[in-house]
Amino acid sequence: MTIPVLAIPGLATLALATQTLTTPALAAETQGAHSGSSATSSLPVPAPPVIPSASPAASSGTSPANTLSAPTALPSPAPEITQHPSTAITPSVSTDSATHTLIAKGRYVAAAADCAACHSMPGAAPYSGGYAFQLPIGTLYSSNITPDKTHGIGNWTEAQFMRAIREGVRPDGASLYPAMPFPSYARMTDADLHALYAYFMQDVRPVPRAVRPNAIPWPLSMRFPLTVWRWFFAPSPHAARKSAERLFASPQLARGAYLVEGPGHCGACHTKRGLAMQETALTAEDGPHYLAGGAPVDGWTPPSLRGEPRTGLGAWSEADLIAFLRTGRNLHGSSFGNMDTAVHHGTQYLTDNDLTAMAAYLKSLPPADETQSLWQPDLTATHALQAGGRLTPGQQLYLDNCAACHRSSGAGYAPAFPPLAGNPVVQSSTPDSLIHIVLTGATLHGTASAPSAFTMPGFGNRLSNTQVATVVTFIRQAWGNNGSAVQAADVKRLRNEITPSTMQSAPPTPMEPAPPQPNDIPKPPDASEHPAPQPAASTPASTDNR
């Protein structure tokens, strides 16, 4: 069996890690970058790959600290961050060089903003929509954002495009659901959005594909309350950009804050939501709730990206973070769920300097929970597993299902199989992510710089709710971990909430063949009480989910 480590892996392969990103109040003069553990304990970080084009065109460009740049072989002028020469993009369509540069920059902005992760489906054309989000109010399907004039955004002006991204308003005046992270995108500069518009309109292939309607019941499906929501909870672009331009101790921290708080929208997943589903903090200035761990999304609970030593990034160095964002894995854990998607479609393509800036900014955030102590290993469980003899039910289940990959010591074989001992996800106050991966398994997809893929099998078809709760409790309390016990009712609840769409941890890149989709959720021997999910309704001729 296997589990996460700011990620979770599996019996014969896999990994869990942090879920995707969006930000507590730090005085500008006190913000500074600082590394965690020594570089000797970190994996070498390979250079970023070239971003795949969504159509027959590609190119390159640069820009200032709070504006994104396409990778280029030349260093950017201060206070910009030097770009990596290995990511230079060669245009493949013959237009003027300024257009090449603009489109390449837009492609880079799309990667930094992780557009493909939400607007692409396995086996479908890039950006053609249809990805399902399981939300408390129902199921939301992402829209087609290709330049198709019927089903996409082909008729949108640049002003309409910018307003939708930064303010959450469609061209017809209706409000977007805040699953679109416009409260974060409000910080994006005009230059970045101009380049992004050029990329979508000139480089992305139009796809005449309608997406299915949202499965949100009335009256929650009404749009006008979303307008009220925007008035109360979404910052104006002017105020957001002014916040993004606040003073920092260094240009590197300013760049990192822009990437994390703006296009990276890390807080959209990693910050808790209020009663109205609003993020309780949008930037580090808003207080310690920012990036302190988010609400469940698709059955995964995003962990803290702050400095907590047990449940956050306190034990990670900047080099660890860079390796994780580049490859989806490091010596502490592996990506899973929506974070695997974010790495696969987005962060693996960012330059070394941009990843370094993001890591420096994240490491500058103090812990939200200052009462946590450092994790200390406890060998009691290790000795019991190695000695054999009379084992507890949790120990026996772990030995039979998990130890082959995660070892009797819980140390795993990183970076392929992450450790469970000291794992922040394992010790989280909410065990949902750990239960989820035990039930369904997950795949750590390969990236250009770490091409090996690892799959942890699911155990939901062979373990009962009680058995899953027993082994997860053992993992959360062994080797010095201090997680709370898990009940069979917790497993039953999550098993019933998980749908086939949440079992695919990350859609592949447009270049990869789509894997077969599961027909239903694995059932344990005693799972007659768990009905199989019903097949989705057929796709209508046309819809607009935005």
Cβ neighbours for 57, distance < 8 A, ≥ 6 positions apart: 91, 92, 93, 95, 103, 202, 203
pLDDT at 453 over 60: yes
pTM of the model: 0.77
Q: What is the pLDDT of residue 31?
A: 36
Strand-pair category, 441-444 with 138-141: unpaired
Place of tokens 């070892």: 407
Q: What is the pLDDT of residue 135?
A: 78
Instruction: Tell me how far apart the terminal alpha carbons of the chain are, to the nearest angstrom.
Output: 39
Q: What is the pLDDT of residue 150?
A: 96
pLDDT at 131 over 60: yes
Tell me whether residue 32 is exposed, middle or buried, using C-beta atoms within 10 angstroms of its C-beta: 0 to 12, 13 to 18, 19 or more: middle
User: Is-cis flag, bond preceding 23, omega within 30?
Assistant: yes
Q: What is the pLDDT of residue 545?
A: 54
Q: What is the pLDDT of residue 170?
A: 96
Place of tokens 């939200």: 368
Q: What is the pLDDT of residue 239?
A: 84
Strands (E), 300-371: none
Q: What is the pLDDT of residue 9?
A: 35
Q: What is the pLDDT of residue 63?
A: 41
Distance CA 274, CA 480 (A): 33
Q: What is the pLDDT of residue 436?
A: 96
Q: What is the pLDDT of residue 296?
A: 84
Helix (H) or strand (E) holding 489: helix 488-497
Percent of the chain residues past pLDDT 90, beyond the cut: 61
* DSSP states along 122-191: TTS-TT----EEEETTEEEEPPP-SS-TTTSSTT--HHHHHHHHHH-B-TTSPBPPTTS-HHHHTT--HH
Q: Rounding to the nearest 10 degrees, give the CA dihedral for residues 104, 105, 108, 110.
A: -100
Helix (H) or strand (E) holding 442: strand 441-444
SS3 sequence of 76-117: CCCCCCCCCHHHCCCCCCCCCHHHHHHHHHHHHHHHHCCHHH
pLDDT at 335 over 90: yes
Distance CA 527, CA 314 (A): 39
| The pair of three-digit structure tokens given for residue 135, joined into one six-digit string | 């939300």
Contact 151, 207 (CB under 8 A): yes
Predicted confidence (pLDDT) per residue in 280-315, tens digit? 999 999 999 999 999 888 889 999 999 999 999 999
Distance CA 167, CA 190 (A): 13
User: Nearest to residue 364, comparing CAs of 279, 423, 305?
Assistant: 305
Distance CA 24, CA 428 (A): 20
Contact 67, 191 (CB under 8 A): yes
Q: What is the pLDDT of residue 136?
A: 77
| pLDDT band per the 50, 70, 90 thresholds, residue 37 | very low
Contact 105, 63 (CB under 8 A): yes
From residue 309, give the alpha-carbon distance in Å to each of 73, 254, 468, 483, 484.
38, 25, 27, 14, 17
| pLDDT band per the 50, 70, 90 thresholds, residue 28 | very low
Q: What is the pLDDT of residue 432?
A: 95
Distance CA 351, CA 335 (A): 19
pLDDT at 44 over 70: no
pLDDT at 369 over 60: yes
Distance CA 175, CA 71 (A): 34
pLDDT at 513 over 80: no
Across all residues in the chain, what is the average pLDDT?
80
pLDDT at 157 over 80: yes
Contact 213, 543 (CB under 8 A): yes
Q: What is the pLDDT of residue 106?
A: 97
Rounded to an integer, the average pLDDT of 217-233 is 87
Tell me phi and psi for residue 135, to 5 degrees: -115, 165
Q: Which of 34-38, 46-50, 118-122, 530-534 has the highest mean pLDDT?
A: 118-122
Rounded to an integer, the average pLDDT of 416-443 is 95
Contact 268, 218 (CB under 8 A): no
| The pair of three-digit structure tokens given for residue 521, joined into one six-digit string | 């959720």
Contact 8, 336 (CB under 8 A): yes
Tell me whether residue 246 is exposed, middle or buried, using C-beta atoms within 10 angstroms of its C-beta: 0 to 12, 13 to 18, 19 or more: middle
Distance CA 75, CA 191 (A): 19
Predicted confidence (pLDDT) per residue in 47-97, tens digit? 567 676 665 443 333 344 666 655 432 223 333 333 332 222 333 344 589
Report which residue type is found at 82.
T
User: In the chain, where are the structural domains located?
Assistant: 96-205+220-241
Rounded to an integer, the average pLDDT of 454-466 is 95
Task: Count the helices and strands in the chain (H runs, E runs).
Answer: 19, 4
Distance CA 242, CA 374 (A): 37
Percent of the chain residues past pLDDT 70, beyond the cut: 74
Bridge partners, residue 297, by sequence? 300
Contact 114, 77 (CB under 8 A): no
pLDDT at 174 over 70: yes
| The pair of three-digit structure tokens given for residue 240, joined into one six-digit string | 């957001």
Rounded to an integer, the average pLDDT of 11-25 is 34
Q: What is the pLDDT of residue 196?
A: 98
| pLDDT band per the 50, 70, 90 thresholds, residue 129 | very high
Q: What is the pLDDT of residue 15?
A: 36
Q: What is the pLDDT of residue 380?
A: 96
Distance CA 364, CA 387 (A): 43
pLDDT at 162 over 70: yes
Distance CA 239, CA 245 (A): 10
| pLDDT band per the 50, 70, 90 thresholds, residue 220 | confident
